Structure 1
Amino acid sequence: MAQDDLPPRQKPVVDGIALPPGSDQTVGDLKNFEVREDDAWIVTYPKAGTTWTQEIMSCVMHDGNLEEVNKRHTVFRVPFLELGMPEPALKMKNMPPIHKIVAEMPSPRVIKSHLPGQLLPPQMWTKKPKIVYVMRNPKDLVVSFFYFKRMMNRSPQKQAETFGDFFELALEGKTMYGPWWEHYLYFWRKRHEPNILLLWFEDMKRDLRGIVEQISQFLGKSLSAETLDAITEHCTFANMKKNPMANPDTVFENPGGQDTGDRTSFMRKGKVGDWRSHFTVAQNEAMDALMKEKLHGTGLNFDF
């Protein structure tokens, strides 16, 4: 059977949260996943700046040794904990799921997850590893997520989906990983805990050098100004996009198999304010109303 003819895998739903195909068993196993105190976790809602931040964290945990960093691709240096196995791997004998591979990794580990807080391993809240959580303004988040979904799903139905269709799903909280506001608020309410660093995508765009230094200090690394400068240069969006060891495009085949107007890519634009090129007036008003309803009294605000 040709790759494009493979039947679509069903998305599991766990505790009302839609998850990637093949990840439901993983989430069940994570209840007993052994978290280590010296772990460093990058947790985000999809398309909030995950790949960008994980590369910074990996560089910092390698003490700025970029030669060593570039020996292995970011998807292996920072494994995606709940990732379902790709179709070819499902047919391989004795191929363990990602979380079991992570369990055997030497310390210190850098681990990535999009899971909402309530589905993360329970030991996250007793062992208290370092957690970097990144938020992005939800308007840009929805636009980026739309293009990502088109890239990841080759079906004619998904390719025919308009931004308006996806926007309505996002407005109802029916996108993968659940409502963005619930995901955000779980960690927003924990923002004062010493093992959690809450960052903003927009601040990364404004002052990447400052964010690199902030992450370094949070992870307990005392790096020289020269090393911080080198990590910053390595982790600019433009440099990461062209770096075969930092861009997931060089590992994963483009599932969409076509151009969607913006060349399908894990790292598409990385812009602040791209929503203005996609939202109608009515959509903007609807999102503003949703944010007012869901975030009222929380103190959480966004930079658009």
Structure 2
Amino acid sequence: MDLGKSDAPIDDKFLTELTSFDGFVLPTVYKELKKQIENLEVSERDVWICSFPRSGSTWTQEMVWMIVNNCDFEGAQIPIYERCLFLEKKGFRVYDSSGANPIEQINNRKDVQKPLVIKTHFTFKSLPKDISSELKKPKIIYVTRNVKDTCVSCYHYCKFIFDYRGDFSEFCELFLAGKVPYSPYWNHVMSYWQMRHNPNILFLRYEEMKSDLGGVIRRVSQFLEKPMTDEQIEVLIHHLTFETMTKNPAVNYTALHEPLRKVRPEGRFIRKGRIGDHKTIMSLDMQKKFDEWIESSLQDTDYSM
């Protein structure tokens, strides 16, 4: 697989806060924060949740935070963006209303014994240098999803957050060309897939979580060395069902997105969460184009969908 750079110009209709950097489409602020991120004080007690956007990271965050914090349902009423630090939060105005800098929060933590749950959409090599060089090995969970469903979810998200005004077919072309946030897609996924045999890295699939949530919870709890009882797992399964998540304001970014909902009332952070949802919107011709792109991208790898 070609893991080379893709620095093609970015469509400026909606990606006004993003730029091509080091072969990926990243928040413009990354150039400003690059040194701070590289030199971040990494604790091996922390848990990092990494993903390409709209692949299930919020679902994974809630699961991991609950496991790490012994199913603290009272604490889970606090908005997830306060409980789990979004590393590049300052790159997006919509998530930055609090003014808190997650990098400073990590570096200036008061309780160094308490593990933090940290979320990022950066590739493996863009993580703090202590991690990317493997000098330190905190637990890292990478979650991925069927790329066609990911594209659909990214489309609706970019309409809501970035006010993308093109149609879905145009967005698909941007996705395939590596011009949407954090793309090129396969370079992102492969940066973690190639590290999956490291004992500190767990590779999850969204579809696994949909088909066997209890089994995934058990795997994650074992990986984090936080054993759970069968009763705890059953309660957590209910807490993490799609129906429960859609009604939970703590994981829906309800307060942060309220201003956007006033101008784009149809927008939702947690939308459908269905497997195969791309079939309801993606034309057969576009599905074929994606299939050919997938086959070409994965021909020299051992990754399978």
After TM superposition, the score normalised by the length of structure 1 is 0.88
Given the alignment, which residue of 25, 45, 51 partners 2:58?
Answer: 51
Per-residue displacement from partner, 1:97-145 (whole Å, max 9, x unpaired)?
A: 2211232233311000000111111111221100010010100000000
Tell me the CA shift for residue 146 of structure 1: 0.3
Is 1:191 matched with 2:200? no
Which residue does the alignment assign to 2:31? 24
Where 1:198 maps in the other structure, the secondary structure is strand
Q: Counterparts of 1:88-167 in structure 2 under 5 Å?
A: 95=99, 97-105=101-109, 106=111, 107-124=114-131, 125-154=134-163, 158-159=164-165, 161-167=166-172
Match of 2:238 in 1: 233
Q: Counterpart of 2:42 in structure 1: which amino acid?
A: V
SS in structure 1 of the partner of residue 29 of structure 2:
coil
| 8 A contact 1:153–1:255 mirrored in 2 | no
Change (3 A) 1:88 1:108: closer
What is residue 3 of structure 1 aligned with on the other side? Answer: none
The alpha-carbon distance between structure 1 residues 90 and 194, as it changes in their structure 2 partners (threshold 3 A), is closer
1:41 aligns to what? 48
The ranges of structure 1 where at least 4 consecutive aligned residues each deviate by more than 6 angstroms after the TM superposition are 88-92
Q: Distance in 2 between matches of 1:90 and 1:223?
A: 35
Of 103-112 and 250-259, deviating more is 250-259
C-alpha distance 41-280 of structure 1, shift in aligned 2 (>3 A): same
C-alpha change, 1:286 and 1:87, in structure 2 (3 Å) is closer
State which drifts further: 199-208 or 277-286.
277-286
Query: Are 1:286 and 2:289 an aligned pair?
Result: yes
Q: Deviations over 1:216-252 (max 9, x none)?
A: 1111101111111111111111111111222223433
Instruction: Tell me how far apart the structure 2 counterparts of residues 10 and 201 of structure 1 sit (CA, whole Å).
Output: 28
2:85 alignment partner, SS class: coil
2:82 is matched with 76
Please list the CA deviations of residues 23-64 of structure 1 after superposition, one character each: whole Å capped at 9, or x if unmatched.
332233111011111110100000000100000000001111
- Give SS of 1:132's match: strand
Q: What TM-score do you get using the length of structure 2 for normalisation?
A: 0.88
Residues 126 and 281 of structure 1: is their aligned pair in 2 closer, same or farther, counting only changes over 3 Å? Answer: same
CA distance 1:90–1:201, change in 2 (3 Å): closer
Whole-angstrom distance in 1 between the partners of 2:46 and 2:302:
29
For 1:44, the aligned partner's letter is: S
Q: Secondary structure at the match of 1:43?
A: strand
Match of 2:279 in 1: 276
Cα gap change, 1:40/1:289 in structure 2, threshold over 3 Å: closer, same or farther?
same
Matched, 1:251 2:256: yes
Unaligned runs of 5+ in 2: 1-13
Deviations 1:153-197 (A, max 9, x none): 23xxx22x1001110011111111121111111111111111001
Partners of 2:96 and 2:207 in 1: CA distance: 38
Where does structure 1 lack aligned partners over 5 or more consecutive residues? Answer: 1-6
Task: State the 1:22 CA deviation.
Answer: 3.0
The 1:204–1:163 alpha-carbon spacing in structure 2 relative to 1, beyond 3 Å, is same
CA shift in 2, pair 1:294/1:85, >3 Å: closer
What is the letter of the counterpart of residue 62 of structure 1? N
Task: Judge which range, 41-50 or 98-107, deviates more.
Answer: 98-107
> Which string of whole-angstrom CA distances, capped at 9 and with x for unpartnered residues, describes residues 76-99 of structure 1?
11010011266599899xx55221
For residue 83 of structure 1, what is the amino acid of its counterpart?
K
Show the counterpart of 2:268.
265
The letter for the 1-side match of 2:150 is L
